[in-house]
Structures are given as structure tokens and as C-alpha cells.
Amino acid sequence: MDLISRWAQDTSVVGKVTFALAVVVALLLIFRLLLLLADHAPRIGRKKWQAALFLLPVTILLLIGFLGPIVSTVTSSLTAPGEGFVFLDNFVWAFTNPDAQRALGNTLLWVIIAPITATVVGLVYAMLIDGSRSEAVAKALVFFPTAISFVGAAVIWGLMYQQPGLEPAGLVNVILGFFGLEPLGFPTNPLTVTPLMIVVMVWIQAGFATVTLSAAIKAVPVEILEAARIDGASSVQIFWRVILPSIQATLIIVLVTISVLTLKVFDLIKAFGADRFGGDTLANMMYTIYSQSDVGSIGEHYSSTLAMIIFLLVIPFLILQIRQMRKNRAIR
């Protein structure tokens, strides 16, 4: 154990590499041992023994890498240095602190606007290009922003939003000036900083929504569409009464995926520096507090509390997703 401790605490490059290799070798030996045990499992209940042995490493890694951090974060959010268990005091701070309140409000604004807007844009675009000759090219163009990192998107849109007087002038403000409108003042304007960042998120996620919903639309049986047309249904009626109900499951998946992503939005806020001008979110505030706190200080506990709030906000979306999956299985 002393040798392992020395390896783990060694800060030199050679020490780190040696420790990493030792861990890899140890894991390989353990997996090899499990394979040998699986080969020599008792004949009675052999499949169950083998399944248990193969699932054991995954279960251990899941406990260490998933449940361990959750338990640690929950414990940290309910305690304070020098005071021990403080129950919900840290959550009271989160809902009464002005900065935390602003971050929570901005996060809710993100979750309400960004997923719905991106999904609607993707659905409209998917309907417009469905069956067209240039459908593949149109999908590629709208999906391209999805492949760009959030930081890259922030750089692109930072240039688009750039204030007049700076070179090059931001395209958005140039267009506004052409119509005699005032510049956006991004990101220093607290009234527009969050909505304008949401525009960037919609730009990134609309491609994902388009491609996913387009596939769902193509999966709608042609017979049902033809029957609706024969019955005299208009294009609008076919969309609302046939296509939309048929792709409901996919719509929920797209909304849940983008909603969970927006709850964790961090890169855009940090890249734009929007947290300095009233555009902070829970995820960015959590990181900021943690990075600026000393080890064992109350800041670590506050950041854990913000992480738990994000986790609690994610739960309703997970429940919605699980219910939808059960409905799909019941239909099948």
C-alpha cells in the first residue's frame, strides 16, 4: 500500500506514467482472471455465473465512476466545513443569493426557449426539404453547425455580434444599422446577452433536430398519408393529424436531448464572458465558484449544491423519456 501511495502522489512525468501503466496492467490481470473463472464456471447455472462475472467489472466501474461522485456531491451539498450536516442551508443560499437567483432564472430561460425553438426550426426545415432534389445538400448544410464545438460557435457568433467601430464590423450590427436600428451591445447588455446566446444554441442544435425529425417523417407509412389525401384532408390537416402524432416519440426525444444539453450549458457563457454581464447559468456559476474556492472551503459545498440543483432539474426530463420508451415498447 505504501508503494501504491507513493506512485499515486508522485508528481513527476515518469511517476505518473508508471502509475498509469501499473493501473492498466492491474486491470488487465483482473479481467484475465475473470475470463478464466468464467471458463471454469460450474455447469449448473453456468450462464448465470458467466453473466455475473462479465458484468462484475462494469458494475464496479459504474459504482466508482457514477454512484461514487453522486454520493460525494449529495453529501457535500448537505454539509458545511466546521458545521457538519446542515440539511438544506446550502440550498437556501442557492435560492436567496442574488447571483444564484439570476443564474437559475437564466438557466430556466435557456431550457424553455432553446429546446422548443430548435425543435420547431428543425421540424419546419425537415418538412420543407422533405422529398426535394437537394434534400441531402440541405441537410448537410443545416447539420454542419452541430459538428462545431461550442467554443468555435462562440468565436463565429462573437464576430457576427461584434460592436460597430471594431474591425471587422459584426454582420448582425451592420444589418441593424442599415435599417436604422441600434447595435445589440452584446455581450455587455444584460437584457440581450442571454437571448443572443440562445440564438447560437438554436443554430447549433437545429441540425440535429432536422436530421432526426426528417428520419421520423420518412418513417410515417405512405398508406396512411395517401388515405388522408383520399379522404380530402389538406396538407395542414395531414401535418397536424397524421404526421405530428406519428412522430411524437421522436419529438420528445429531440426536446429532452436538447433540454438536458441546455441545462449543462457552460462553454458559450465562458467563451463570451457573459457571466460578467448578467448572463450566468447554474453550470457556469458552479464551475466559477469551485475554481475560485480553496480546498475544504464553503465554496466547494456551494458548487456541489448548484450541481444537485442541475441534477434535480434533469430528473423530470429523464422521467418523460422513460415513460415514452415504455409507451413505445407497449405499442410494439
pLDDT at 255: 93
Dist CA 111 CA 123 (whole Å): 18
Of 185, 214, 200, residue with least CA distance to 148: 200
In this structure, are residues 292 and 302 in contact, taking their beta carbons and an 8 Å threshold? no
C-alpha cell at 211: 436530421
CA of residue 55 relative to chain centroid, distance:
28
pLDDT in tens, the chain (332 residues): 444 555 455 556 666 677 778 877 887 787 777 777 777 767 676 677 777 777 777 787 788 778 888 888 999 999 998 888 888 899 999 999 999 999 999 999 999 999 999 999 999 999 998 878 888 898 889 999 998 999 999 999 998 998 766 666 788 888 888 888 888 888 888 999 999 999 999 999 999 999 999 999 998 888 888 888 888 888 888 889 889 988 988 999 999 999 999 998 999 999 999 999 999 999 999 999 998 888 878 889 999 999 999 999 999 988 888 888 787 777 66
| Cβ contact 58:279 at 8 Å | no
Written as nine digits, the cell of 79 is: 454539509
